[in-house]
A = this chain, B = another copy of it.
Amino acid sequence: MDARFDVVGIGNAIVDVLAHADDAFLARHSMTKGTMALIDAETADRLYGDMAPAIECSGGSAANTIAGLASLGGRGAFIGKVKNDELGKVFHHDIEAIGVHFPTTPATDGIATARCLINVTPDAERTMSTFLGACAELGPDDVDEDVVRASKVIYLEGYLWDREEAKAAFVRAAELAHDAGREVSLSLSDAFCVDRHRHSFLELVENHVDILFANEDEILSLYQVDSFDEALQHVRGHCKIAALTRSAKGSVVIHGDDVHIVDAEKNIKVIDTTGAGDAYAAGFLFGYTNGHADDLAHCARLGGIAAAEIISHFGARPETPLNEVVQQKLG
């Protein structure tokens, strides 16, 4: 079936504000390292006021994945809500400039464009505090039916589950995609997010998801088990493909009875892990939708290469075009 897009992502449209911090900063603000917490506008102002000098760059989990896909040469679309303010224009510019189709109409009034305050500790781990802002306006009507039907795969971020309207958009998009004979992929996003919505996620994975992305913490949380091996046994058979990332240990892809274990890229100086999982999904889905659906180890390798580029610098979008990075690595 012809498709205008390889992947359409649906997610929160966010501008990241990245700064260095030490462990004492995290403790002072009662943050759990490596996780994402939702904050209100007042908390965001207070937290920002205490942060070090920062840089701003476009982010958002699914948006990062689609930007990565486009950087690899894939055809991507993104659905997500910004306000028509300065940061909203930044988000809009960046995603279109990388070649992604972005049909969602920005809000003209109401709450500001979402910001994610990201504190990166000396161990390169990122801890995120998100003010969802205009993302609260995303609803089922924003799901562009033509774009969803015209995409080989739709990609949904678990973070959307934190709001009822966004969840409704999410389910509507999944139904549209399946009706059109497309595949549905989901990222579990965050172990705490999984904890908040475990029952829903289990039902989703069982009934709606073809390709599941999760890191080790998230898959352990989903099945409430203590070991990765146990989690593998649980996920097997409950979705078509599960691509599970393990940081420096690489990734494991489960597909029916097949298990592919793929090493992480070597000799990477890790500066900032923000967006690592998003970039992995970008590489994987680029391979999957561009002729390598029968070679999932290759898809996982592409995921690892994309993730390695992202973690080698500050910020979650590629600094070097990912198609060039892949070309260098794989020739």
Contacts and interface: CB of A to CB of B under 8 A. Distances in A.
B55 A315 contact: yes
Given A93-B48, A314-B319, A319-B314, A67 B86 contact: no
Interface string A42-62: 000000110111111110000
B56 A97 contact: no
A107 interface: no
Contacts of A314: 319
A53 B315 contact: no
Contacts of A98: 52-53
A216 interface: no
A315 B313 CA distance: 13
A317 interface: yes
A85 interface: yes
A54 B55 CA distance: 11
B57 A56 contact: yes
A107 B55 CA distance: 23
A41 B33 CA distance: 41
**Main SS of chain A's interface residues?**
mixed
A97 B315 contact: no
Nearest to A86: B86
Contacts of A37: none
Nearest to A16: B55
Interface in A84-136: 85-87, 90, 93-95, 97-98, 112
Contacts of A93: 48-49, 51, 53-54
A95 B48 CA distance: 13
Contacts of A315: 55
Nearest to A58: B53
Contacts of A90: 54, 56
Contacts of A86: 85-87, 112
B55 A55 contact: yes
A104 to B, nearest CB: 18
Given A53-B67, A54-B57, A56-B57, 4 more contacts: A53-B97, A55-B315, A85-B86, A86-B87
For the complex of A and B, the 6 pairs showing the least CB-CB separation, nearest first, are A56-B56, A86-B86, A53-B94, A55-B57, A53-B97, A53-B98
Interface of A: 19, 48-49, 51-58, 67, 85-87, 90, 93-95, 97-98, 112, 314-315, 317, 319
18 contacts: A48-B93, A49-B93, A51-B93, A51-B97, A53-B58, A53-B67, A53-B94, A53-B95, A53-B317, A54-B94, A54-B97, A55-B56, A55-B57, A55-B315, A56-B57, A85-B86, A86-B87, A86-B112
